[in-house]
Amino acid sequence: MKTKPIWLALLVVILYGAVVYSQQPVTFSSGTVTTVTTVTTLSQLGGVAVPVEDVAETAGGTGLYAMGVRRDVAAASTATSGDNTMPSFDSLGQMWTRQLDPCSGIAKLYLPVDIVTATTTEITPSLAGASTHYYICAINLVTAGANNVALVDDNTDGCGSPTAGVMGGVTAAEGWNFAANGGLTLGNGAGSVGRTVTSNAVLCLVTSAAVQLSGQIVVAAAP
């Protein structure tokens, strides 16, 4: 005697229990289906109609949605490289994204410049961690009198002994040579125009004259 084959298309959904669809509806209240190869048609999940493309949203709708998490401050959901993770969204529902340049992707520091002596002045706070740099997003300086000004970094807090020149050399004479009422403006904050040469170093300004030097330096700290 011949037997008639029964064709089943199975779907297991871990939502309100395991639901199986076939030509003749079958429901499992418990148990496990190890492998599902093909699902031809799916109309409901948990007894609720599955949303269809180009149909208006309904409150409390059921479906297979891409998961995300609200994070009002940008942060990773895992501390280990290679782990699974998910998109993050801010309080306005906008997804956190970042361009490769730190000046366009992370929080910036806006640091005033107010120097009246011929000295070396630390501009940025000290950095902690490994292989972190200050990226210069924007800088504007104006000097009241003739003044040589160098932007340098120092790997010790306090700028007692500059390590490397960031835009020029490590002495005032090797920096910008400004005439009275001269200065410069670089960058608009959206992209970096310079970076510390030395990792985990502070930024400093070296001045040659006891005249007013004013302005602002905008930086972002990143590897």
- Per residue in 42-90, pLDDT (tens digit) is 777 666 777 666 777 767 666 666 778 898 887 888 888 888 888 888 8
Report the distance separating Cα 120 and Cα 185, nearest Å: 21
DSSP assigned state of 172: G
From CA 83, how far away is CA 77, in angstroms rounded?
9
Q: Is-contact 22 10, C-beta < 8 A?
A: yes
Judge residue 202's burial from the number of C-beta atoms within 10 Å of its C-beta, 0-12 exposed, 13-18 middle, 19 or more buried: buried
Q: What confidence tens digit (pLDDT) does each residue in 143-168 have?
A: 999 999 999 999 988 899 999 999 99
pLDDT of residue 22: 47
pLDDT at position 33 is 76
Architecture of domain 102-222 in this structure: Sandwich (2.60)
Contact predicate 10/35, CB 8 Å: no
pLDDT of residue 60: 66
Separation between Cα atoms, residue 56 and residue 65, nearest integer Å: 16
Task: Give per-residue pLDDT as tens, 169-198.
Answer: 999 999 999 999 999 999 999 999 999 999
Confidence (pLDDT) at 213? 98
Gap between the Cα atoms of 153 and 127, Å rounded: 12
Q: What CA–CA distance (Å, rounded) separates 27 from 16?
A: 12
The single-letter code of the amino acid at 35 is T
Higher per-residue pLDDT: 62 or 40: 40
pTM exceeds 0.85 = no
**Domain map of the chain by residue range?**
102-222
Q: How confident is the model at residue 108 (pLDDT cuts 50, 70, 90)?
A: very high
Q: What is the pLDDT of residue 162?
A: 94
